[in-house]
Amino acid sequence: MSSARKVVVIGTGYVGLVSGVCFSDMGHQVTCIDTNQEKIDGLKEGKMPIFERGLEDLVSKSVNVGRLEFDIDMRDHINKADAVVIAVGTPIKEDGSANLDFVYRVVDEIIQNLSKDITIIIKSTIPPGTCDFIQKKFDESISQYKSSVVSNPEFLREGEAIEDFMNPDRVVIGCDSDKKEEMKNFYQDHISRNISVIFTNRITAELIKYSSNSFLAMKIAFINEIASISEKIGADMDGVRLGIGSDSRIGKKFLNPGPGFGGSCFPKDIEALVELSDKINADSKVIRSVNNSNKDRIQEIANNILAMTEPKDNICFLGMTYKANTDDVRTSPSIDIIRILLVNNRTNIKCYDPMGIESARKILSDKVTYHNNIYDAAEDASLVVIATEWDEFKDIQPEKLSNLMKSKSIYDLRRIVNMKQFIEADFKTKVIGLQDA
Ligand code: UGA
C-alpha cells in the first residue's frame, strides 16, 4: 500500500507552511489553508509570507508536481482528506498562558463540517492536556464520525526549518495505540531513513515539546551567566564552552552566549509552562528562573551599553532580528535592549539589519533611524553594537569604520568579530564573555 495521504494543513505560519510543503515533498497530497486571503493569494503566486531559506524553491517544486495547493476555506477539503493538521498560532495571553482561541475555532469548524472519520494531527504548541480535551470535544459532538486526535509537536527552528523538519533528531507522536500504524505510514519517509519516531500518549507528547524548549532556553540562560562570570574573572569563555560541552552528558549545542534568547517560542513556552505549574501547584523554580535570568541578561547588556555611551552619542545598532537567517523580530532581545536605551536618553540609535528592518520599523517606528547598510548606520557613531550573528557582520572592516565613526568603540554580543583586527586599529573593544582589556 502506498503511504501517500491526502492532508489538509490549517495555518500557514512557520510551522504550518513548512510542515505542509515538507509533507508534500515526502509524497503526500497537501492543501494548506489560511483564512488570510492576502497570504493565500500571495502563496498562489509563489510569494512567501515568511523569509525561510529554501522555502520558495520547495513550494514551487511541490506546486509544479501537483502535490501542493492553497485555499482559504477548509470546508471543501476536510472530507476528502485522510488527516487534518492543525498548525495555527497559540500566542501568549496577559497571564502568561497560551491563547488557544485559534485552535478551538478550527476544531469547532472541523466538527461542524465533518462527514467522515478523520485523523486530527495537532502541531500547534499547546499545553499538556489540550489534545485530550480536544479528543473529548470530538467524542462528545453529535457527529456520528469517529475522529482521533494525535499530538505531533514540531521542533523546527526558524532559519533551519526545512532541514529540521526533514532530518529531525526525532519525531514525537502522541496517540492512541490503534493510530500507531497509520502514523507510521504517514512518517514512512522518515522511518525509511532511520529517523527515530517516538510513540507515546498525547499528554506526554505535549509535555515533551514544552520541556524541550524550556531545557534549551535553560542552557542558554546558563551559559549567559557563565559568560558574565568569565568577563569578571578573566576566564576564557570559549575554553569553558569546549570544556563543558565535551562532556557528552552536556553536549556542545546551544551553549553560545548572547544578548539573551528571544523569538516567538522560548519566552512564550516557558511562561505557559510556569502558568501550568502554578495552576497545578507544582513548584517549578528552575523553569520560572529561566525567563527571569533572560530578562536580567537583557538589562545587563543594556546597562553595559549605557556605561559605554553618553546621551548625545550616536549608537550604531547592528542586528534587529532575534537571531540570524530570519526576518523575525518578535520578542527580539535587540528590540528590548533598544527600548531600555531609549528610556535612558540614548535617543540617537542608528539601526541596520539585513532582513529585519521592515518588521523592526513596525515596532519602533521613528524612535530610531533605519539604514541600508552597516557603514551608513556607523556614520558619526561612537559605538557599534553587534547584536545578531549575521554572516555579513563577521566581515566588518575596522579600517572602513575608523574613517566614519566619531569615536571608535565596538561591543560584540555574539562573539563573531575578529577583535584582534579592531584592537590593532585602536578600537575600544568589548566582547561578551571576555574581560575588558
Ligand atoms: C526554537 C527551538 O530551537 C525549536 O526546536 C522549536 O521548534 C522552536 O523554538 C519552536 O518552538 O517553534 P527558534 O525559536 O526558531 O527555535 O530559534 P532558536 O534557534 O532555538 O533560537 C532561539 C533563541 O536562542 C535566539 O534568540 C537565539 O539567538 C538564542 N540562542 C540559541 C542563543 O543565544 N545561544 C544558542 O546557543 C542558541
Q: Give the C-alpha separation, 129 to 132, whole Å.
A: 5
Give the mean pLDDT of 350-360: 96
Q: What is the mean pLDDT of residues 93-107?
A: 92
**Would you say 315 and 416 are in contact if contact means Cβ atoms under 8 Å apart?**
no
The pLDDT tens digits of the residues spanning 34-73 come to: 999 999 999 999 999 999 999 999 999 999 999 999 999 9
DSSP H/E element including 357: helix 357-364
* 1 pLDDT higher than 50: no
Q: Using the 8-state DSSP alphabet, how is residue 46 labeled?
A: T
Work out the pLDDT band at 145, boundaries 50, 70, 90: confident
Enumerate the H helices of 115-179 as residue ranges.
130-140, 161-166
Cα(82) to ligand 1 centroid in Å equals 32
- 414-423 long-range contacts, CB within 8 A, separation 24+: 414/256, 414/258, 414/259, 414/319, 414/386, 414/387, 414/388, 414/389, 415/237, 415/238, 415/256, 415/257, 416/386, 416/389, 417/386, 417/393, 418/394, 422/398
- Report the distance separating Cα 390 and Cα 387, nearest Å: 9
Mean pLDDT of the chain: 96
Question: CA quadruple 354, 355, 360, 366: dihedral positive or negative?
Answer: positive
Q: Compute, in angstroms, the gap from residue 324 CA to the centroid of ligand 1.
A: 11
pLDDT above 80 (res 437)? no
pLDDT of residue 143: 79
pLDDT in tens, 240-275: 999 999 999 999 999 999 999 999 999 999 999 999
Which phi-psi region, left, alpha or beta, contains residue 335 (left: φ > 0; alpha: ψ -120 to 50)?
alpha
Edge-to-edge strand ranges of the sheet holding 147-151: 68-71, 29-33, 6-10, 83-86, 118-122, 147-151, 170-174, 196-200
pLDDT-based confidence at residue 326 (cuts at 50, 70, 90): very high
Q: What is the pLDDT of residue 2?
A: 65
Phi, psi of 271 (to 5 degrees): -55, -45
Task: Tell me which residue has its CA closest to atom 8 in ligand 1.
Answer: 157
**Does the CB atom of residue 268 touch ligand 1 within 6 A?**
no
Grid cell in block for residue 52 = 525561510
**Residue-level length of the chain:** 437
pTM: 0.95
Please work out whether the CB of residue 187 comes within 6 Å of at least one atom of ligand 1: no
The answer to whether 259 and 337 have CB atoms below 8 angstroms apart is yes
> For a pocket test of ligand 1, which of 51, 322, 323 has the largest count of ligand atoms closer than 8 A to its C-beta?
323
pLDDT given at position 382: 98
Instruction: Please state the atom number of ligand 1 nearest to the C-alpha of residue 159.
Output: 15
